[in-house]
Amino acid sequence: MKRILILLTIVFIVTAAQLSLAGVKIVQEAVSTINGKEQEQSSGEITAYYTEDKLRMEDAQGKITIIRLDTGTMWALDPESMTYTEQTVEQMTEQMKGMPENMMNIEMEVEKTDETETINDYKCKKVIVKMKIMGMTVTMDVWATTDIKPDPILIKFSDKANEVFESIPMLKSTFGAFKEVFEDNTFPIKTVTKSNMFGMKTENVSTVTSVTTEDFDDDLFEVSDDYKKKAMRGFGGGMK
C-alpha cells in the first residue's frame, strides 16, 4: 500500500513588495480508485502552480506539496494540523541507497498512437507510457492536444526536474514521461494511470479543467511560520 500511495503522490503540489513570479496554474479533476472503490482522500480537484523551478500542489482535502527545484527541497504541508515535513534531494538519494536494485531500476516505454478522442472540446491523441517502477508495472494513457501549446515555463520546469532528480529514478521517470509529451508541442488533457500489485488494482484519472498564465507571489512556495516541522519515517513515509 505504501508503494502505491508514494507513486500516486508522485503521477498525483508575499507581500506586494516582493517579486512576483510568472507562472502557470493548472486545475484538474481527479478520481482515484483501488479495486474499483473510489478513494476520497485522493479524489477531487487538484490545483498546481508552476514556475520555472517551483511547484505547489493542493489536493481536494487541503493537503499541500511544494517542490523547490532551486533548492532541491520538498515540503508536505497539512493545514489541518498546521504541520509539515521536509525532505531534500540529498536525503532522498541517501534513503534510496538501501532499496533493492530491482526497485531502483526504472524502465520506460513511450508509444505514440493515432487514436483520438475529444475531451472537454479539445481534440486529443493518445500516448501510452509504460513504466516498471518499484517492482510493479504502471501504465499511463495520456490524452494530449495541440489546441493548447505547452507554456515555456512548463518545459523549463520539466527540464530542471530531470536534472534535479537525476539520482531518484521514480521522480525522474515521472517528469520525463511528460517531457516527451511537451516536446511534441502537445499538452496533456487527461491522464489515466493504472497499476496492479499483489491483487490491488489502482486507477487514477486526472482531467484538466483550466489552464491560466498568472503572476505568483514568492510566499506561495514557502512554508509559513505558523506551521510546525515534523520528522519523517523515511522516503515517502508519513509523519512521526
Domains of the chain plus CATH, in order, are 2-229 (2.50.20.10)
Question: What are 62-103's pLDDT values in tens digits?
Answer: 999 999 999 999 999 999 999 999 999 998 888 777 666 655
Alpha-helix residue ranges (DSSP H) falling in the chain? 2-11, 89-96, 101-104, 152-164, 169-183
How many degrees, rounded to 5, is the angle at CA 171 between CA 105 and CA 224? Answer: 150
Question: What are 51-72's pLDDT values in tens digits?
Answer: 999 999 999 889 999 999 999 9
pTM summary value = 0.80
Give the 3-state secondary structure of residue 11: helix
